[in-house]
Chain A
């Protein structure tokens, strides 16, 4: 009989291996710090870079206020529309399910598709197509699916008994305030924080609407100076604000998450709303539907209105292939990292520092990830190769993959996993026959999400693309600046079609692997 001995050295090796994904996520920041220390040839005025004054100070304030308003508006719309969606009768479950599924897909739609659609819509409505208003609105539309998904998931997991008790003892309004809203508070807070941080780091939407924000200025600053150190010090105020928000947010969420511990996600809940709230939330739902309808109708109409469709498709074909190669490569790196981090999170083995490192690539302005990688690899063979954009996308979206894996693993029946440990024929056999098929849907969901978001990535990729190499999303981004809407529509349609084909193939795979297991699930 094989005897396994627990040795201290193997435990140390395991904890060392567990830290590898976090070390990889730290590469851009370490690159920035390293370059700041060794960069020579000129004297850096650190204080003037770190402490923003004059124009930079106004820019920082503008960025914070923009992100705050984007966060609050998207949160308000998301909450009201999610409440409306789950206040309808279970008879309309199919409609709510469809909206819910489409909104999850909208999470993966690149920002430039929203930008282009709303830019055209604003033009038709004779509203300003540049400046604060369109940048704010498009950011709200782009980030809206995130808090909507979080709040909907939280509503689906609400304690059914508490909901029924609330309906018996209180009026709908009081039950909403005392039972429903406190139950989804972690999702509300988490959604608001995430949107604030992501909006603060994003420059792709403001740049299209000619609005200067701090993260765009970091990109511009690097383009002018080419100095990694300057860019790092320049970005510190933004990073510090984001870090404080993350630390405060994580602490708040840690306390609040206790209230929803152990609840399971159901297919449908019915929340009773008072008439006034029902009207307001109905309006929220309409706005959420616009977030789906405007980009999708614009894509389809643009495709049919284009006169040079075939030529445009031919023009974007090589860039599409490049995009798919890069996102596939980044998936190969990101998925194992996401799985490892997701498993560590579900085993509750992560420290506060590890959570911070995990969220770092999300709160760092995307351009800074690229600049950090340049700082590390500029004198190596990898520089000016496709390894750079692959690594940039992998690092930027591993937190997304890890969080998805974590939520999937958290929902697994631990005893089912224990049963596989007790009954497996060997570790390998157990992994292949039990664990892998059980984990497959989670792995697939994470892989698809990383792949799709990676295909539409701009912010980090634009900094590190090798000369003469372009991706479809960057081509679209560049065309958007010229206002060439027909070409952009066709290229966007092409990108979305490629994504749909990949998702379709994956769905087929899921259909065959999951055949029968979900029947009668209700």
Chain B
């Protein structure tokens, strides 16, 4: 593959075996996917179709049964190689804010940053969380926590941001407001994102390329 791609997934397969009846469920079946730098890939699908598993595989939280994942020209997962999640240089927004409760908002955002050139001030202002920096996660609202989680992911990586239903359970206006801010910021910084949601309006707004995950395979939306 050419160096144009920031994410290259080839023939990715993952199955789970239930402990009780030893039944094997093949969640992903030979998925191949290529994402260029600056591209905004949106994936939708019904609950339990394997969307989160796909992101876990890209992040290295789970090892694939078969296939390979290349991030920024480095093989991070294959039959022989598995690079630890923190060495993949990615940002990740989980379904829950997943903020560390013993750290302030500021510490939550600053801890993962490895690239000193990140415009933190700009990000904080854009997402309207500058005034929350000294607070603990238990002292902010759910919507604010989601914005902090997004800022943490955006500031942590220049390569690839994975977003797993980052705006679920948010009120419609607030969701739209965050989406617009995110859209503007991504356009400005040319970041690459893989965005997962089951909300088609959200997908329509944010993604430049859309897929549906069904029966373990990706289909064009």
Instruction: Mark A residues whose CB is within 8 Å of B.
Output: 1-6, 348, 413, 415-416, 418-427, 430, 433-434, 437-438, 513-514, 516-521
Contact = CB atoms under 8 A, between A and B. Distances in A.
B195 interface: no
B101 A415 contact: no
Contacts of B112: 422-423
Given A4-B82, A5-B80, A415 B94 contact: yes
B19 interface: yes
A4 B111 contact: no
B202 to A, nearest CB: 20
A324 to B, nearest CB: 30
Given A415-B94, A438-B100, A438-B101, A430 B138 contact: no
B102 interface: yes
A423 B19 CA distance: 31
Given A6-B82, A418-B94, A423-B156, A433 B111 contact: yes
Interface in B42-87: 56, 59, 61, 63, 74, 80-87
Nearest to A514: B102
B84 A420 contact: no
Nearest to B95: A415
3 smallest CB-CB distances across A and B, nearest first, come from A423-B112, A415-B94, A415-B98
Residue among A3, A5, A518 with the highest chain B CB neighbour number at 10 A? A3
Contacts of A520: 138-139
A242 B221 CA distance: 59
Given A348-B19, A415-B94, A513-B102, A422 B82 contact: no
A6 B102 CA distance: 32
Interface in B109-143: 111-112, 114, 136-139
Contact of B99 (A3, A416, A427, A518): A416
Interface residues of B, number: 36
Given A1-B83, A519-B136, A420 B61 contact: no
B156 A3 contact: no
Contacts of A517: 101-102, 136-138
Residue among A3, A5, A423 with the highest chain B CB neighbour number at 10 A? A423
A5 B59 CA distance: 16
Nearest to B112: A423
B157 to A, nearest CB: 9
A423 B99 CA distance: 11
B86 A426 contact: yes
A418 B86 contact: no
Say whether chain B's binding surface is mostly helix, strand, loop, or mixed: loop
A521 B86 contact: no
A437 B102 contact: yes
A4 B86 contact: no
Interface in B122-170: 136-139, 152, 156
A423 B84 CA distance: 11
Nearest to A440: B102
Given A416-B98, A418-B98, A519-B139, A2 B87 contact: yes
A416 B61 contact: no
B9 interface: no
B90 interface: yes
Contacts of A4: 82-84
19 contacts: A1-B74, A1-B83, A3-B81, A4-B82, A6-B82, A418-B98, A419-B92, A419-B94, A419-B98, A422-B90, A423-B92, A423-B156, A425-B86, A427-B84, A427-B86, A438-B100, A517-B138, A519-B139, A521-B138
A345 B93 CA distance: 27
A413 B112 CA distance: 19
A411 B63 CA distance: 25
Given A418-B61, A422-B61, A423-B111, A430 B86 contact: yes
Contacts of B98: 413, 415-416, 418-419
Contact of A421 (B61, B81, B91, B137): B61
Nearest to B62: A418
B96 interface: yes
A281 to B, nearest CB: 33
Contacts of B61: 418, 421-422
Given A348-B19, A422-B92, A517-B138, A434 B100 contact: yes
Nearest to B75: A3
A427 B84 CA distance: 9
A51 B111 CA distance: 65
Contacts of A516: 104, 136, 139
B135 to A, nearest CB: 8
Contacts of B85: 418, 421-422
B83 A518 contact: no
Contacts of A433: 111
B102 to A, nearest CB: 4
Nearest to B63: A6
Nearest to B19: A348
Nearest to A349: B19
Given A2-B87, A420-B100, 5 more contacts: A421-B86, A423-B111, A424-B86, A425-B114, A434-B100
Contacts of B152: 423
B27 to A, nearest CB: 17
Contacts of A415: 94-96, 98
Contacts of B59: 418, 422
Interface string B196-208: 0000000000000
A3 B100 CA distance: 27
A520 B19 CA distance: 40
Contacts of A348: 19
A422 B153 CA distance: 10
A3 B63 CA distance: 14
A437 B136 CA distance: 14
Contacts of B136: 516-517, 519
